[in-house]
A and B are shown apart, each in its own frame.
Chain A
Amino acid sequence: MVGVVVVSHSPEIARGVVEMAGQMAGDDVRLESAGGDSHGTLGTDEALVRDAIQRADQGDGVVVLADLGSAVLTIQHILETGNGAVKLADAPVVEGAVAAAVVASLRLPLEDVVKAAEEARDARKL
Chain B
Amino acid sequence: MLASSETIVQLPTEVDLHARPAAQFVRTAMRYAAAVTVVAGEREADAKSLLSVLGLGARRGTELRLRAEGREAALALDALAACVTGFVE
Contact = CB atoms under 8 A, between A and B. Distances in A.
Interface of A: 23-26, 95, 98-99, 102-103, 105-106, 108, 116, 119-120, 123-126
B51 A119 contact: yes
A102 B26 contact: yes
B19 A99 contact: no
Q: In terms of DSSP, what is the predominant structure of the interface of chain B?
A: helix
Contacts of B49: 99, 116, 119
Contacts of A105: 27
Interface of B: 19-20, 23, 26-27, 30-31, 49-52, 54-55, 57
11 contacts: A24-B23, A25-B27, A99-B51, A105-B27, A106-B31, A108-B30, A119-B51, A119-B52, A123-B54, A124-B55, A126-B57
A122 to B, nearest CB: 8
A126 B30 CA distance: 24
A45 B49 CA distance: 33
B55 A99 contact: no
